[in-house]
Amino acid sequence: MNQQLDPIVIVSAARTPWVVFSATDPRRRRTGRRRHPLDPERAGLAAEAVDTVLMGCVLQAGQGQAPARQAALGAGLSQAVQCTTLNKMCGSGMQALMLGHDQLLAGSSEVLVAGGMESMSNAPYLLTRARGGYRMGHGQVPDHMFLDGLEDAFERGRLMGTFAEDCAQQYRFSREEQDAYALESLHRAQQAITEGRFASAASRSLRPPAKLTWALRTRPLRCSISTCPM
């Protein structure tokens, strides 16, 4: 493939808004095609143009077989589309993009969808010894979100968040520098939302329970910079 004659380009991007933990109903995961973030019509393409779907997903337990295939069919794509689900922890979605780039460069795909999907709210608890039987002693019911997502596989009990503290110590990021960075990030997010910069990319593909009112601006703008400790 000659990138000068046929460059690799991103023609569309979409995301679903973050919601409160356990606020989504697992029975309402699939909605109409035109509200789906994978819908190729967002980019002005026909569904038949897409030949590959690559989706990162870490917490796959309880999601059913082939989550990427489910997402593709939910978006109205053909059953002939090649679908692959990737798991590289926090980098799963990014790895999907990287592999998508490589497939386009190799010429094995012409138009593809790459991204990531995750639902911590729907991560189940696991009966890891149920098949063989719980016998004497106290049994455990591991949290799929912790066991396969947030907890170090080689140092049980150590969660991913502790590595932030390790990085801060290693690279000597002070508490004041971290707070200043967080405040600046919050300020930029509030400004971007107010200016509608994310409106075209936001896709409400999940329907929240009736008791939850969704507004893309509500949660980021709820925090007032003036009330943050300086």
Q: Which amino acid, 133?
A: G
pLDDT in tens, 119-154: 999 999 999 999 999 988 999 999 999 999 999 999
What is the gyration radius of the CA atoms in the chain, in angstroms?
A: 21
Instruction: With a cut of 80, say whether residue 184 has pLDDT above it.
Output: yes
pLDDT in tens, 73-123: 998 999 999 999 999 999 999 999 999 999 999 999 999 999 999 999 999
- Which domains does the chain show, CATH number per domain? 1-124+202-218 (3.40.47.10)
What tokens does 57 get? 């997903």
Per-residue pLDDT at 24: 56
The rounded distance, in Å, linking the Cα atoms of 102 and 81 is 18
Q: Backbone dihedral region of 199: left (phi > 0), alpha (psi from -120 to 50 degrees) or beta?
A: alpha
Torsion of CA 46, 48, 50, 54, to 10 degrees: 120
